[in-house]
Amino acid sequence: MKNILKNNGLKRLIEIATIKKKTVIAAIVLLVISASASFLPYISIYCIASEILATFSNTLVALNTEKIYKFIWLLIIGGIINILSYFAALCLLHKAAFEAIYKMKIDVLRHFTRLPLGFSIRMGSGNIRKILDEDIGNTEEFLAHQFPDLIYTIASCVITIVILVCVDWRYGAVCLATISIGIYILGLAFRTDSAKKHMQDVFKANAEMNNLAVEYVRGISVLKLFNTTLVTFEKFYDVIKRYTKSAIQYTLKLEKTLAAYTVLIHNIYLFMIPIIIFLGRSTNDYDVFVSKTVFYIVVAPAITVTMLKVVHLISKTFQIQYGIQNMDKVLQEPIIKPVSSEKDLINSYDIEFKNVTFNYDNNNKTPALDNVNFISKSNKVTAIVGASGSGKTTIAHLIPRFYDVQYGNIMIGGVDIRQIDLNKLMTLVGFVFQDDYLFKKSIRDNIGMGREGATGEEIIAAAKSAYCHEFITKLPQGYDTIIGSKNVHLSGGERQRISIARAILQDSPIIILDEATAFNDAENEYLIQKSFNKLLENKTVIMIAHRLNTVKNADQIIVMDKGKIVEVGVHNDLIENKEIYYSMWETYSQAQLWRIGGKGNE
Ligand code: ADP
């Protein structure tokens, strides 16, 4: 893996911020210049005022206009340098931020393409979008906006401290000591492990709350339909409570230290009282003493505003660090290792599961698949049945390596699938999912995705084989109709047939079919079955079946229960066995009778 993950926390943020090192250094120099120049107008005004006051107290001295003009020029030049250098720094940092974000997005997306597909399924599209959009987007905002503010404010702080120390080191030392104690207290507030943990909890709950809020809004119609209240939307309600709890805990944790810091910094001049008394007693030059004392009483509190801004900006960096951590979690996921030498010795398209045990989560005691053994022969249909959660989908997902098994082997034509080049494996296995995914593209493109470079005729031929040509040609834009656009309404059955056409075009020797649970109308059902027959011709078929009437004719039926194979055979044999399959069949037949009866009674 790349060195991108050597650091974490603040170091990682700095690493990202300085991806364009030279640009960022140039911007920092400009920001320091800008912050320094921002003092010139104040210094000029101070000097002009002193000059005027000197002529007031001594009428014999004429006003030195030449000197005053020089200070006015200094004031103007200071202002111009301040604005121009800040502007130039912002431009540079925006450029650097966009380039850093571009690199981060490319890194994450490139890594995604090397991860097992199962990772995306497990993570969910909402979370992936959040990382690419929000977490990386916030980093861009931080780098382009808050980062320059932070550098500018820190530079102003340092310059103010230098001025405070230079004008009179004794007053300066008191200010410096107070500021140092303040910084130490701040460190106590933010650096403890428990404070860090509370902060992480708040960010985590906040992120989850945002995600679930979107889900809640999306599902609002269903909620209204069923007259469901907020409380029944349990996950959302729980996360709001968790967020509230962790936010309160975090606030309470910081309460004392932040209050102490604020009181200390705001009352910095109080700490100067002893030194004012001491210097007042020992001085002979009261003019200088009074002017310096007034200077410190006015200027020292000004630093408090700057310091509080630094605190606010630093607390922002924690949030950004949390987003970067999420992104790094993706980058740390192990990729599918490309095979070094492609052992293209596949001698058939038989699929064999050999002692396969698989667990989604290593901490989970019961594996999703437990020592599964079976062979699915070429040109034969193997149906997998079983209760929900018994492991049917897991079997289907392991064949194209959405996940890698922990124990055992999955072989295609005698070769372990981990030895087959991933791109090749993808061409070997075709999927027809239950919730078929169609893209917001033309129907032609959706079907054409099945095989790169497919001609228009081939696409139409596939559509004909899947019995969708007729309804496609009836659409106003025919094959160019954009799926999902306004006024284009395709029924569930029509959508499924488009994806079957895609799979027919792909023409993979192995087909994994996740049969739809939803009932189509009779005509659609009939057409889907017919298109399946075309799709499944001469293929190794693994069918996850939800309706038992479709498995009756399968060459082999595998019955799953809690991750284990409990029965294997053909329909008639399994019925004679009078075990799990038999009782499933009984229940299914009863349900069918009930359904027909129900319809008849309507
Ligand atoms: P089926 O398809 O028969 O309904 P699955 O193969 O989906 O069953 O699930 C088998 C087991 O694996 C279940 O206990 C399920 O909770 C678990 N499981 C399925 N998908 C995941 C996942 N992405 N992460 C963790 N556990 C999962």
CATH second-level architecture of 351-601?
3-Layer(aba) Sandwich (3.40)
**For ligand 1, mutation pick of 115, 365, 388, 393 (most atoms within 8 Å of CB):** 393
By alpha-carbon position, which residue is closest to atom 13 of ligand 1? 389
What are the helix and strand counts (H, E) for the chain? 23, 10
Q: pLDDT, tens digit, for every residue of 353-365? A: 999 999 987 777 7
By alpha-carbon position, which residue is closest to atom 7 of ligand 1? 393
Ligand 1 centre from 68 Cα, in Å? Answer: 81
Average pLDDT over residues 156-185: 88
Task: For ligand 1, say whether the CB of 359 is within 6 Å of any of its atoms.
Answer: no
Top pLDDT among 117 and 244 is at 244
pLDDT tier, 232 (very low <50, low <70, confident <90, very high otherwise): low
pLDDT tier, 3 (very low <50, low <70, confident <90, very high otherwise): very low
pLDDT recorded at residue 1: 42
pLDDT recorded at residue 227: 56
Q: pLDDT, tens digit, for every residue of 26-39? A: 999 999 999 999 98
Task: For ligand 1, say whether the CB of 392 is within 6 Å of any of its atoms.
Answer: yes
Ligand 1 centre from 374 Cα, in Å? Answer: 19
Cβ-proximal residues to 104 (8 Å cutoff; 6+ apart), any chain: 16, 136, 139, 327
Ligand 1 centre from 389 Cα, in Å? Answer: 5
Nearest atom in ligand 1 to 388's CA: 4
Cα–Cα distance for residue pair 224/230, rounded to 1 Å: 10
Task: For ligand 1, say whether the CB of 391 is within 6 Å of any of its atoms.
Answer: yes
293-299: long-range pairs with CB below 8 Å, 24+: 293/171, 295/167, 296/164, 296/167, 296/168, 296/171, 296/175, 296/269, 296/272, 297/269, 297/272, 299/160, 299/163, 299/164
Backbone dihedral angles phi then psi of residue 410, each to the nearest 5 degrees: -115, 125
Q: pLDDT, tens digit, for every residue of 6-58? A: 666 677 888 888 888 899 999 999 999 999 999 898 888 878 887 887 776 66
By alpha-carbon position, which residue is closest to atom 6 of ligand 1? 391
Q: pLDDT, tens digit, for every residue of 353-410? A: 999 999 987 777 788 999 999 999 988 899 999 888 889 989 998 998 888 888 999 9
Whether 351-601 and 2-332 are alike in CATH topology: the answer is: no
pLDDT recorded at residue 297: 82
pLDDT greater than 60 at residue 231: no
Domain extent listing, the chain? 2-332, 351-601
Task: For ligand 1, say whether the CB of 390 is within 6 Å of any of its atoms.
Answer: yes
Ligand 1 centre from 556 Cα, in Å? Answer: 23
Ligand 1 centre from 433 Cα, in Å? Answer: 16
CATH number of 2-332: 1.20.1560.10
CB burial class (10 A; 0-12, 13-18, 19+) of residue 69? exposed
Task: For ligand 1, say whether the CB of 368 is within 6 Å of any of its atoms.
Answer: yes
pLDDT recorded at residue 601: 41
Percentage of the chain with pLDDT > 90? 17
Average pLDDT value for the chain = 83
Top pLDDT among 490 and 600 is at 490
pLDDT recorded at residue 308: 79
